[in-house]
Amino acid sequence: MSHRSRLSGVRVLVVDDARYVLDVVTDMLQCNGANVTAVDSAEEALDILQRERPDVLLSDLSMPGCPARRLLVVVL
């Protein structure tokens, strides 16, 4: 197996209101070389998307407050 991680250099924004999901997904992605930003609300994700563009957005679509589907509108 190659020493280079599969996700080396890939920037991922993970959005989920469940802390345990954020922790597990973040750990899995980082173990494979991804640069992860993890937030627990769509509002925080929208703030981040104003400043930077991740390569991948991984989001829960059923969070309270600001609908996560709004993230899709911003990204698309």
The CATH code of domain 11-75 reads 3.40.50.2300
From 64, 56, 73, select the one nearest 17 (Cα to Cα).
Answer: 64
Residue 58's φ and ψ, nearest 5 degrees, are: -120, 110
Write the DSSP symbol of residue 55.
Answer: S
Distance CA 58, CA 38 (A): 10
One digit per residue, pLDDT tens: the chain, 76 residues? 455 678 999 999 999 999 999 999 999 999 999 999 999 988 899 899 999 999 999 998 877 776 666 777 777 6
Entry pTM = 0.85
Q: What integer pLDDT is reported at residue 64 of this predicted model? A: 74
Q: What integer pLDDT is reported at residue 60 of this predicted model? A: 87
* Cα distances (angstroms) measured from residue 34 to each of 1, 9, 23, 44, 52: 18, 6, 14, 20, 16
